[in-house]
Structure 1
Amino acid sequence: MPLALELLPKNKHDFQRLEELFKLNPEMVAPHFGILLEWLQDINWPIAQTIAEYLAQQGEALVPFVKEVLNGKDRVWQYNILVYIVDKWPVDIVTDIQGELENLAKCSILDIDEVDLRALGILVNHNLGDSKVLRSQLDFKLSGIKGILQELLAIERIMNDRNRAKL
């Protein structure tokens, strides 16, 4: 059994194995990046942020594994990868996942969430993509949010009026 495989964490508190794993040459650990990324499915697990810090430094070797997650359906996992790994990458590596970020940034107003907003922000921060398309996506998201905000404010006014009427 390869040494790196033996040192993969066995539970969410297994800092001892991580410490030993991270002493290895990253090329020995690289085949197991996908397994390590799984720990980012819940960033609240004690070892998750330590793993994220390590993986964020692995650059190009991590790209195929990140692409797989970004092309998946787990929005929480995608968000964690964007925040704790991709946000730390330089533009030359982010460029390798530009297509995935552009796909994530697109959404209907009913699907808007932190993932598409973070993806849009990464594209803008790294000056990637067509600025007109990005502007259009931003305007679309803003118009939807403004509409939702107007509805919420109208509901709030009704509730406030009813509360005043009871006094």
Structure 2
Amino acid sequence: MDINNCIPKDKFDTAAIEQACQMGFPALNPFLSDLLKWVQDVNWPVAANTAALLSNAGPEILPYIKAILRSEDGAGKFWTIDLVVRNSNPDVLLGLRSELVRLANSPTQNDQREDVAAIAQNILTKKVFNSE
């Protein structure tokens, strides 16, 4: 299987995500940034399945998610948190805790418009954070 066929060519390329699911991790690790681009709009047909796939990624995904959470794209932050971060494994969640706290406590105006603070706070209330 050609790994290049695992990256969507457009927002309708659900076949690429099906192939990516078959490829799995760690083979997809070099393409995490490319795959994350496809979850930044929930209306795209590839978004839900891509998010489900990325939720299974290990800590290798942390720098890419942090880059999104530090960006100016409020909608992208919201959907990345809601679709990927929410369902990520505890190690990934713990690795994102400081970013989520920052977004919940000090949102930009754009983040406020896009409900980023609320979704970050929602994730922070998960049991994994309360058991420390």
TM interval, short-chain normalised:
0.7 to 0.9
User: Which structure exhibits the higher relative contact order, with contacts defined as CA atoms closer than 8 Å and separated by 6 or more residues?
Assistant: 2
1:68 CA drift (Å):
1.0
1:59 CA drift (Å):
3.1
Partner of 1:124: 125
C-alpha distance in 2 between matches for 1:36 and 1:105: 25
Which structure has the bigger radius of gyration? 1
Q: TM-score, normalised by structure 1?
A: 0.67
C-alpha distance in 2 between matches for 1:47 and 1:109: 28
* 1:78 matched to 2:61: no
C-alpha distance in 2 between matches for 1:51 and 1:31: 15
| Matching residue's letter, 1:122 | I
For residues 146-165 of structure 1, the aligned pairs below 5 Å read none
| Matching residue's letter, 2:92 | I
Stretch deviating more after TM superposition (51-60 or 11-20): 11-20
Q: Say if 1:95 and 1:128, in contact at 8 Å, map to a contact too.
A: yes
C-alpha distance in 2 between matches for 1:94 and 1:35: 21
Q: Which has the higher helix share?
A: 1
Question: RMSD between aligned alpha carbons?
Answer: 2.3
Partner of 2:4: 5
| Matching residue's letter, 2:36 | L
C-alpha distance in 2 between matches for 1:109 and 1:60: 27
C-alpha distance in 2 between matches for 1:67 and 1:108: 15
For residues 13-24 of structure 1, the aligned pairs below 5 Å read 13-24=12-23
1:109 CA drift (Å):
9.4
1:30 CA drift (Å):
1.0
| Matching residue's letter, 2:62 | V
Q: Secondary structure at the match of 1:23?
A: helix
1:108 CA drift (Å):
6.5
Q: Say if 1:105 and 1:120, in contact at 8 Å, map to a contact too.
A: yes
Stretch deviating more after TM superposition (23-32 or 69-78): 23-32
Partner of 1:56: 55
Q: Say if 2:57 and 2:88, in contact at 8 Å, map to a contact too.
A: no
Q: Secondary structure at the match of 2:96?
A: helix
Q: Say if 2:59 and 2:91, in contact at 8 Å, map to a contact too.
A: no
Q: Secondary structure at the match of 1:20?
A: helix
Q: TM-score, normalised by structure 2?
A: 0.83
Stretch deviating more after TM superposition (76-85 or 17-26): 17-26
Cα 1:74–1:3 change in 2 (3 A) is same
C-alpha distance in 2 between matches for 1:57 and 1:28: 13
